[in-house]
């Protein structure tokens, strides 16, 4: 059964299983590598439904949303070439790439997020691509 986010029930159950079984696998390196990105993905899903208190409307670069979506599922893994392209983009990514939503901006997606949330996205992506 497919959800609106293109995740299958099997995908969700597998993710839950990995997290629940961490106490037996004790693979802290793998856990450390995925936790920042998992946190950002989960928070982005939550803020789609209900903006957090203190969040303002910003325009986020569309490619950031595309990258987070691609990294949140194994259906379309990044090719080596795509990895290098996104890595280069993430290297240049900063808080200033998010624009306050005053008017429509081409190439940006409106999101409700705090400055802290933007920082988390930027840091999580830089951590994923080993730029920190």
Residue 24 lies in a domain: no
**Assigned token pair, 82:** 């795509």
As a whole number of angstroms, the distance between CA 17 and CA 13 comes to: 6
Predicted TM-score (pTM) of the model is: 0.49
Residue 3 lies in a domain: no
Strand 56-61 and strand 108-113: the pairing is antiparallel
Q: Which residues pair with 114 in a beta bridge?
A: none
As a whole number of angstroms, the distance between CA 8 and CA 31 comes to: 22
Residue 69 lies in a domain: yes
19 contact partners, CB below 8 Å, separation of at least 6:
none
Total domains in the chain come to: 1
Domain of residue 113: give its range. Answer: 35-128
Residue 46 lies in a domain: yes
Residue 119 lies in a domain: yes
Residue 57 lies in a domain: yes
Residue 71 lies in a domain: yes
Q: CB–CB of 112/51 below 8 Å?
A: yes
Residue 9 lies in a domain: no
* Run of H or E including 46: helix 28-49
End-to-end alpha-carbon separation of the chain, Å?
38
**Residue count (the chain):** 132
Per-residue pLDDT of the chain (132 residues; tens, 9 = 90+): 233 344 445 555 566 666 777 788 877 776 766 666 667 667 767 666 666 666 677 888 989 988 988 888 778 888 999 999 999 999 999 989 988 876 666 777 777 788 888 888 889 888 888 888
Q: Give the CA dihedral 95, 97, 101, 104, nearest 10 degrees.
A: -170
Is 127 strand, coil or helix? helix
Maximum CA pair distance of the chain? 50
């Amino acid at each position: 059964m497919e959800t609106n986010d293109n995740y299958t029930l099997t995908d969700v159950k597998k993710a839950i299983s990995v997290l629940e079984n961490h106490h037996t696998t004790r693979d802290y390196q793998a856990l450390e590598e995925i936790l920042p990105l998992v946190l950002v993905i989960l928070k982005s899903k939550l803020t789609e439904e209900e903006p957090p208190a203190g969040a303002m409307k910003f325009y986020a670069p569309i490619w950031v949303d595309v990258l987070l979506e691609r990294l949140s599922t194994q259906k379309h893994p990044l090719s080596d070439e795509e990895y290098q392209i996104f890595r280069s983009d993430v290297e240049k990514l900063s808080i200033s790439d998010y624009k306050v939503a005053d008017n429509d901006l081409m190439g940006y997606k409106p999101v409700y997020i705090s400055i802290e949330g933007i920082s988390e996205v930027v840091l999580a992506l830089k951590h994923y691509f080993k730029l920190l």
